[in-house]
Structure 1
């Protein structure tokens, strides 16, 4: 069988991703091929007392892949940016950590998630959090404007990861910290699979082999890049096909930190 020469259509990837997470926002009760909601949060390591402090309507549409706060780098009064903030679970947790003197920006490109996160922030009575529309590879924040960048299961969905991590580096202040959870692979995906936008939205084929992923982060300028946890995220998938595909590629979660030296 000849190898496909089909090139990746980035616009189609972003469209497929937006459609997928629109459903997660408006139909949280629907079963998805990836874990979502409160049970997923608990499996990933979110403490129950933390989840109890934020609205259920944020948690019900949670679609992260790990517990980035394991890094424990956020301090009172800091400015934080959450890249791909979804329904606002991590934004709200970050806001509790920064306190009222801090500032948290949540960035998302899906209108339904943005609207839901804004409502959740209002219902939680959090004044130091704000949701803005944008993409990981085009962050509408000023250079050197935040102390910490967090993200949860997002960079694997971005076609131009190099640009996305350069954006994260750009908006961080000198000495700023990166704390993220994301999907990586043990072996590369075929070019044929990578050219399928729908497969990107399903959180596996857009991921990179772990060594390549860490190389991308370091090449963006980050130092002290350290993997602090690994997790078989897809073990909790309700879809046997997804489990099989993930197992075949060695898809799993890593939680890592890095610094802007």
Structure 2
């Protein structure tokens, strides 16, 4: 027989501990069990029902990770079709694919150079400027000096490019680095082509000078009309001219062979 023991702790430490047996515990209980229901003895209130069921162990196994099917030869049968002919295995992974064109690499084509891209500037006032230079027009000289200072500047009080070269550039119908480089007019004292940086300075100075001349002609339409009429008269008479380094008009371009001969006979020119 089992006995229930309850210990009542009272604030007074001298109070003796009361030992309750099962019979005395039943007399002190305010509830009783009737037909499996816990009922209050005094009020008849039903507190609940005792449900007793045997413990059943239900252990479920959960698969861990990603389920994978076992490897087999027919696993990828829906993806490819294999056939063996003369010890050669042909595999087809789907429909026919478009053939990718093989890129053709041209080794002989030169690669683009680094640096600024060449600029092509069309000069619609080339003929008018030639005629104005022959008349020693002051506004042409102002434009030439403006282009020389703005595009190239000066070093130690000396211009970095020659104004005579800029004057020749503004008489070209097309101003570009290639046109200046291919022209035999622009040569150094050793009769060699000028450097690429110098050529870029000349092209930039020519563009600045052309814009300055354009602004002047737009503000002086009568001067522009007069020069255009003179150009038409010169074309009718088949008069052609070019600019010299020391003067304004010469006959044609300078012959390199003559300059070489002069250099050998009289030194540097």
Name the TM tier (shorter chain). Answer: under 0.3
Higher relative contact order (CA 8 A, sep 6+): 1
Higher strand share: 1
Higher helix share: 1
Q: TM-score, normalised by structure 1?
A: 0.22
Q: TM-score, normalised by structure 2?
A: 0.22
